[in-house]
Structure 1
Amino acid sequence: MSYVKDDAVTAPAVPLDQKGPHSRRLKLVTVMATFGGLLFGYDTGVINGALPYMQDDLGLTAFTEGLVTSSLLLGAALGAVLGGRLSDRRGRRRTILLLAVVFLVGTLGCTFAPSTAVMVVSRFVLGLAVGGASVTVPTYLAEVSPTERRGRLVTQNELMIVSGQLLAFTFNAIIGNAFGESGGVWRWMLVLATLPAVVLWFGALVLPESPRWLASKERFGDALDVLKQVRSAKRAEAELAEVQRLALADKQTQAGGWADLATPWIKRLVLVGVGIAIVQQITGVNSIMYYGTQILTDAGFSANGALTANIANGVISVLATFVGIYLLGRVNRRPMLAVGLVGTTSALLLIGVFSLLLPEGVGRAFVVLALTVTFLSFQQGAVSPVTWLMLSEIFPLRLRGFGFGLCALVLWLANFAVGLLFPILVDAIHISSTFFIFVVLGVGAITFVTKCVPETRGRSLESLERELQARYS
């Protein structure tokens, strides 16, 4: 029997891959696909610095401010479901091509929006692309990656997400400090997202289709051709045999949609996936990613100082994601997620406490900045990478797009609630009490992870499917 090793964990599978020209091809495929993650990050992060300038130009209130921010998230909820279904039916590559076009159209709509209503609609359209990319890109990477490298490659999409947010924070600071007195400066912040959208479209043209999606359509010859592009020949043939067996078995069940939820083990698995999705959002991460500039201003920074200081949040997110990529190959998923949640919950508790106890000024401002950086270290170094990776792993091949899409729908709806309610709650009960709410939710999230989440590290997607079926039946 041959074995594929994921560091310390071994599982019966196919021969280990060997380095060769196919390794470079796999790297190129990963980079091109993850431009979807870069756009995800930029479009969700850019609002952080652009929003204060929109307030004057568009006449935003606390409610419309939340609506402009969260309209993208509502669109992302719908886009996640549509993207998952579309990628199951038409293929992962075609879906990524379409998403690149939607990214471009939505960005241009936001850039030239003359009113709040047009901005909300355009942000909703942009959200369709963000939600679709949040499902399709990790699924594609999971299906094209070798088992022993799946954690690292899928998590590179998370790295691109936080890199996109860092770019947004950096360009916001540069443009805001240089041209902050000019009218419509926020439009220049938004329009920069057209460039990676064009790169994603051209990059998708050279992507191969997912070999596992091809196998699910019984196109086994095409699947083998793709595997040979990103594997050694011996590995490709052995891997195809495993994929083919499961694809044929799945075909006999005639599954792939809502009807699957009548199957008890799938229903329980979907509920676990939904729980993981909610956990990722109720940490409150996007209160910092969307409103970080306002949080730092409230803590005591000047407007321009907050824009510049917010770059630290982007930098630590990128650095922490590198740590997360390293840990995913060496640490089991479930304990990594639990430790991350303990860290985020503790950081939010301290933000709330110091926001109450310290007087407004530079001292409180730097304490809050240090704690948001600490929070993001745990969030981006553990919670977010594990979330997106596990959601790309746990569902059977025949409904991977559907299951991931359904969980992402819930994730984006929770994200929408945070984006919409955060400024309203801060206005009503102050920022410290708002963070205390997230602390309570964090305690519940830790309990759920330790009791309900399965371990997925070290298994091929096919062997993992068999194990989860046995566990939840």
Structure 2
Amino acid sequence: MVISPPEKPTRDEKQSAGRNVAIVALFAALGGMLYGYDTGIISGALPKMSAQWGIDHTRQEIVTAAILAGAVIGALVGGSLSKRLGRRKTIFIIACVFAVGVVACALAVDAWMMTFCRLFLGLAVGACSQIVPTYIAELAPPQRRGAMVTFFNIAIGVGIFLANLVSVVAAAGDSPEASSNWRWMIGIAVFPALVLAAAMLQLPETPRWLIENGTVGKARVVLRWMRPNRTAAVEETLQIWAISQQEDKESRGGWANLTQRWARPALIAGLGIAAFTQLSGLEMMIYYSHTILGTAAGFDAGLVVWSGLGIAAVYLIFTAVGERLVDVVGRRRLMLTLIPGSTVFLFGFGLMFVLTDHPNRYLTLALMLAYMACNAAGLQAVGWLLGSELYPLSIRDRATSLHAVALWGSNLVLTLTALSTIDGLGLGPAFVMYAGFNLLSFVFVYFAVPETKGHSLEDIEQSLRDGTFLPLRGNIASRIGLPDNRITTGAAAD
């Protein structure tokens, strides 16, 4: 019998599959843009609301953090919903909540109504942050998964940049602090929400969810559309099916599966990274950039607005840099390279205000931007990605929910306490403390987070079962200075 060699994809097939993967990632990542815009627009809108409604710092923190409290709830609900209905239908529902939420916020008549509406809007933000990266990761090929999932991060950066650009436009009129033009600033986000809802009616369900729910044939059809040829689609279908069969009995345990000893290292790594992406302080600085630079640092109104736009631009540019590097340098190495920079620059920013009450404005802004660049390209680019690829299939829905809860919960704590902390400790000591959180994140990554670059989701799961997941095994001292620790599986690492 003559065995035919494996089918090789043609150039046209590769281009077609790559285009289809990009289309899915780009449209799904609209959820990231909505997340970035709806959380970022508060920085420019909050001073206007405060002037119109006469609210103090405590109420400002409550209004700002309400969306994060909703995000915690949305993250918990989103996992169960996506397991029952599928990733695609859940994202459609999320898009509808986004549309209703932003319109409600734009029509709010006082601070308490705004708080409630942002709480509702947060349901979409939290569920989106949990479902969209998982949706993209389960459709993307292993060698492009990092770049595709970080489309979500780039979209967040686009949303934050657009929010600050809108703030610049809104501030161009006379007496911007007393105006009520914050309503249209918030309300225009309804349009991308409707585009996302329409797109999800056309995009496919993920093959992993389809196989888990007994529709192997549909999964193969989806993979044939997303992969360069029939052979690649069939092989991946069989690999997913084998893992699904292996987990069939385990998946009946529900939330109890999260306590399984073999899966614990993935939970520790994923939830820790989720917390540190927020405790490192970047998103808190985005929310309160106008307040921090204007009230605490003494920037004039014009410089505050343009500085906010510069912060958003740096976030966007360096998130894109991280997207380009994450599949080349690797997740772990990228974080270990850039976290020291974010620590030093944030410490320097805080130290400037410890040493003097009136530091050089441009030097302090430069330190803030340098910190933003390192954090956006490192921790922020990798945080969402790891949440989509570390967890085994049997616990993925619940674990990604916990991942988003850890992220939004830590964000909520930081946002609720930021202005009070700055008032109590002073701007300088507060940011020295946040620099300490960045240093702790470096230690955590070194000891608890493995390299996942180039490995399929099934390879990562098998490493957990084999006990080869952790980055440092055996004699730790002998491995100091070797940050590129890889998951050891049957598949060769890139």
TM-score computed with the length of structure 1 as normaliser: 0.93
Between 1 and 2, higher relative CO (CA 8 Å, sep ≥ 6) is seen in 1
Q: Which runs of 5+ in 1 are unaligned?
A: 1-13
* Contact 2:45 2:167 (8 Å CA) reproduced: yes
Shift of 1:358: 4.4
Structure 1 residue 367: Cα displacement? 1.5
Partner secondary structure for residue 235 of structure 2: helix
Q: 1:120 to 1:16 in 2, by over 3 A?
A: farther
Instruction: Assess, with a 3 A threshold, how the Cα gap between structure 1 residues 16 and 239 changes in structure 2: closer, same or farther.
Output: farther
Secondary structure at the counterpart of residue 329 of structure 1: coil
Q: Indicate the SS of the match to 1:251.
A: coil
Q: Are residues 15 and 162 of structure 1, via their aligned partners in 2, closer, same or farther at CA, if it must alter by over 3 Å? A: farther
Among residues 439, 446, 455, which one is paired with 2:442 in the alignment?
446
> Once the 2 structures are TM-superposed, how far is the Cα of residue 237 of structure 1 from its aligned partner?
1.2
Give the drift of 1:344.
1.6
Shift of 1:335: 2.2
Decide whether the 8 Å contact of 1:215 with 1:243 is kept in 2: yes
Q: Does 1:264 align with 2:261?
A: yes
Deviates further, 379-388 or 330-339: 330-339
Following superposition, the deviation at residue 235 of structure 1 comes to: 1.3
Aligned to 2:353: 355
Select the residue among 286, 295, 315 that pairs with 2:313. 315
Contact between 1:264 and 1:472, CA under 8 Å: does it hold in 2? no
**Counterpart residue identity of residue 443, structure 1:** L
Output one character per residue of 1:244-264: Cα deviation in whole Å (capped at 9) or x when no partner. Answer: 111111113234631102311
**Equivalent residue, structure 2, for 1:470:** 466
Q: Deviations over 1:376-403 (max 9, x none)?
A: 1111111111111111101111221210
User: In terms of mean alpha carbon deviation, does 390-399 or 261-270 score higher?
Assistant: 261-270
Spell out the pairing of 1:234-383 with structure 2 (5 A cutoff). Answer: 234-255=231-252, 257-297=254-294, 298-360=296-358, 364-383=360-379
Partners of 1:365 and 1:74 lie apart in 2 by 34
Give the paired residue count: 459
Residue 202 of structure 2 is aligned to residue 206 of structure 1:
yes
The 5 Å alignment of 1:402-421 reads 402-421=398-417
Instruction: Assess if the C-alpha contact under 8 Å between 2:98 and 2:124 holds in 1.
Output: yes
Could you say which residue in structure 2 is the equivalent of 1:134?
129
Q: Does 1:194 align with 2:190?
A: yes
Q: Which residue number in structure 2 is paired with residue 107 of structure 1?
A: 102
Task: Select 1:178's aligned residue among 169, 173, 178.
Answer: 173
Which amino acid in 2 is paired with 1:247? S
Partner SS state of residue 19, structure 1 = helix
Q: Is the 1:224–1:236 Cα contact (8 Å) retained in structure 2?
A: yes
Whole-angstrom distance in 1 between the partners of 2:378 and 2:439:
16
- 1:356 CA drift (Å): 2.9
Q: Within 2, Cα distance between the matches of 1:469 and 1:57?
A: 58
Alignment match, 2:47:
52
Letter in 1 for 2:280: T
Q: Secondary structure at the match of 1:296?
A: helix
Task: Let me know the Cα RMSD of the aligned residues.
Answer: 1.9
User: Which residue type is aligned with residue 202 of structure 1?
Assistant: A
User: Following the alignment from structure 1 to structure 2, what is the Cα–Cα distance between the partners of residues 175 and 220?
Assistant: 52
Match of 1:65 among 56, 60, 69: 60
**Distance in 2 between residues matched to 1:343 and 1:412, nearest whole Å:** 24
- Distance in 1 between the 2:252 and 2:431 partners? 42
Measure the CA separation in 2 of the matches of 1:87 and 1:111. 29
Q: Alpha-carbon deviations, 1:69-101, whole Å to 9, x = none?
A: 111011111111111221122100000000001
* Structure 1 counterpart of 2:431: 435
Q: Is contact 1:101–1:197 with CA below 8 Å preserved after alignment?
A: yes
- Structure 1 residues 430 and 22: CA distance shift in structure 2, 3 A: same
Task: Identify which range, 171-180 or 240-249, moves more after superposition.
Answer: 171-180
Separation (CA, whole Å) in 2 of partners of 1:154 and 1:256: 29
Query: CA-to-partner distance for each residue in 1:184-218, whole Å, 9 max, x for gaps?
Result: 12112111211111111111111100111101112
**Percent pairwise identity:** 34
With over 3 angstroms needed to count, the CA separation of the structure-2 counterparts of 1:141 and 1:378, relative to structure 1, is same
CA contact (8 A) 2:31 2:132 kept: yes
